[in-house]
Amino acid sequence: MALVLGVVWPRSTARAEPSRVLLLPTAGDAAMATERAAVERALTAALERQAFEVVSAPEPAAGSGSARCSVAECAHALLQSLGAELAVASALWGPGQVESGQTTVSVLLVDAAAERYPAEEALTALEVEAVEAATEVALLEAQGLRLLGPGPWLEVSAEPDDATLTLDGTRVGALPYRAAIAAGTHTLALERQGVVVWQQPIDVTLGTRHLARVHVALDVRGPGSAAQVSVSGASLVTDATPVSPGSAGPDAATAATREAVSPWNYALGSVLVLAGTCMLIAPLQTLAQQGDCIGEVDAGGRCSARVDAGAGTYVQLGAAVARLAGGATMFALRPLRIDVQASDERAFLELTTTF
């Protein structure tokens, strides 16, 4: 009989204390008190769902002459004394108070190092549910920026989204792209199938803590097509020439696109016509000799065997006609195309069909 000894360790019932977050009063349009209250409720609920302990700024000591902290500028100084990880400031502005002309809720995270992570979301309606939903979106956006580290940040997207982004000569990955970036001038380039199809320097100098968004709608209809670019939080360097397929110039990255009819149209068409012609001879001969006697003739003049074009003859005839039709199609429509794209780094050749 085996003796089994076991040791049971007591399980600790202690639980980690939740991180504290300092929630500042919502600023903004004084005429929208109900909506501003909805912003604070939404922030409190969202943060508590994320297991944060939400605290408010303490009242100043009596007789100190100082006011209660209600803005982001003084929040980081309170974090250490409160044992809080972050301060969350928010504001709600009406259509006439923001550049976009839309009612907007903004959320700003401030850490103990006074680093700021801003985000904003436009409201689709002034109902409380819409205000709360926009507030949660803005909070998640600001928290996403905090994961990237101190800003500014760059976000690049494109249509179609199969392009690869090169930033200052270094390929950084597929789109959409978002990361922290140093303030200053940067060169963006988009590649599709190894060819630079758009290139543009941008200046990220409109502040030190903001999100610069660049969206490029690429026109891929053919050489020389221009891309439509929308930018916020940055400015395009206007003395540079964007690169599009077929562009030229000593300062532009070499990128060329050439589409031509493939000679394989004629080669394949010729093979099909030749094969169809050869296959056509036998069934035509059979049909021409239909009913002819190919056997012995008896004394009564009856033939023992005659030429009969059976099903096999018509199948062979159909196959021959199909090959001839295929060859004629290759000559007439020339569906095969050769797409050649070349850059300084590589060349790309693709054989396509319009079928």
Copy the structure tokens of residue 184: 């200053």
In whole angstroms, give the CA distance from residue 88 to residue 28: 15
Among the candidates 113, 132, 148, a domain finishes at 148
Domain that holds residue 268: 261-290+306-353
**For residue 73, how far is the Cα from the chain centroid?**
36
Same domain, yes or no, for 124 and 25?
A: yes
The answer to whether residue 215 sits within a structural domain is: yes
What pLDDT does residue 101 have? 75
**For residue 151, how far is the Cα from the chain centroid?**
22
The answer to whether residue 157 sits within a structural domain is: yes
- pLDDT, mean of residues 167-188: 89
Residue 34 sits at φ, ψ, to 5 deg, of -65, -45
Number of domains in the chain: 3
Same domain, yes or no, for 281 and 249?
A: no
Same domain, yes or no, for 349 and 317?
A: yes
pLDDT-derived band at 326, boundaries 50, 70, 90: confident
In whole angstroms, give the CA distance from residue 109 to residue 115: 8
What pLDDT does residue 338 have? 57
Question: Which of 303, 355, 283, 292 lies closest to 326 in space, CA to CA?
Answer: 355
Residue 90 zone, left/alpha/beta (φ > 0; ψ -120 to 50; rest) = beta
The answer to whether residue 328 sits within a structural domain is: yes
- How do 164-167 and 104-111 pair as beta strands? unpaired
Among the candidates 208, 228, 253, a domain finishes at 253
pLDDT-derived band at 245, boundaries 50, 70, 90: very low
Encode 307-329: b = buried (16+ Cβ within 10 Å), e = exposed: eebeeebeebbeebeebbebbeb
- pLDDT, mean of residues 15-43: 85
Mean pLDDT of the chain: 77
Same domain, yes or no, for 86 and 118?
A: yes
Among the candidates 132, 148, 164, a domain finishes at 148
Cα-Cα-Cα-Cα dihedral sign, residues 17, 21, 22, 25: negative
- pLDDT at 248 > cutoff 60: no
pTM for this model (two decimals): 0.59
Tell me the CA end-to-end span of the chain in Å, nearest whole number: 79
- The string of pLDDT tens digits covering residues 270-289 is 888 898 899 889 888 888 88
Same domain, yes or no, for 279 and 239?
A: no
Same domain, yes or no, for 239 and 318?
A: no
The answer to whether residue 227 sits within a structural domain is: yes
